[in-house]
Amino acid sequence: MPNHTLSKLNRYRLLYVSAIIIFVLDQITKTWIFNNLPLDSYYPPESITVIEGFFYIVHIGNEGAAWGMFSGYGGLLALFALITLFAIYKLRHSLELHRKPMQWAFGLLIGGILGNMIDRLIHGHVIDFLDFHFPINIPWIMPTGRYPSFNIADCGIVIGTIIYLILSFKSESAKQAADEEHPQS
């Protein structure tokens, strides 16, 4: 491999490593779920109780996005995932992917997007399996105290997005502070 190519790969190493880790963990866990629990195994004895009344391993087929939104539009959601990945690639400079923390954030995001996209293409739905029940009711989020089931890819997407937002706000705050300290004449 030419030295220039290795240099480019090395420059985004953290992005690639975090994306691969999320993607591989996601696909390994979903493969296990697919092979060991019947689809729609929400209730015992098909589901696995980890902590009674709180945490269960289930096998749910989510045909939509978060919380089942856009259910039935799996092809469109897969296309949106491809467009998002392409946009991240094209905007990598303005997204500051040269910065290690941004690489970590976008690596988590990319690994999650790829994991769920592969599910849509192979199964026609996303395999969700982490199921939590909370002793509180929040009418607009969890009216029954049951949080929607999710997976490792979803964790990567949410955590990556949160890290990106925090880094963006910190970067914007630093720029504003610098502008106030050294105003342009």
Q: And the tokens for 126?
A: 């996303």
Three-class SS of 52-96: CCCEEEEEEEECCCHHHCCCCCHHHHHHHHHHHHHHHHHCCCCCC
* 179 part of the active site: no
Q: Is 154 a catalytic residue?
A: yes
What is the distance between the alpha carbons of residues 103 and 148, in angstroms, rounded to a whole number? 28
Catalytic residue among 26, 119, 131, 154: 154
Q: Could you give the CA distance from residue 149 to residue 115 in angstroms, rounded to a whole number? A: 16
Catalytic residue among 26, 119, 128, 131: 128
Q: Could you give the residue numbers annotated as active site?
A: 128, 154
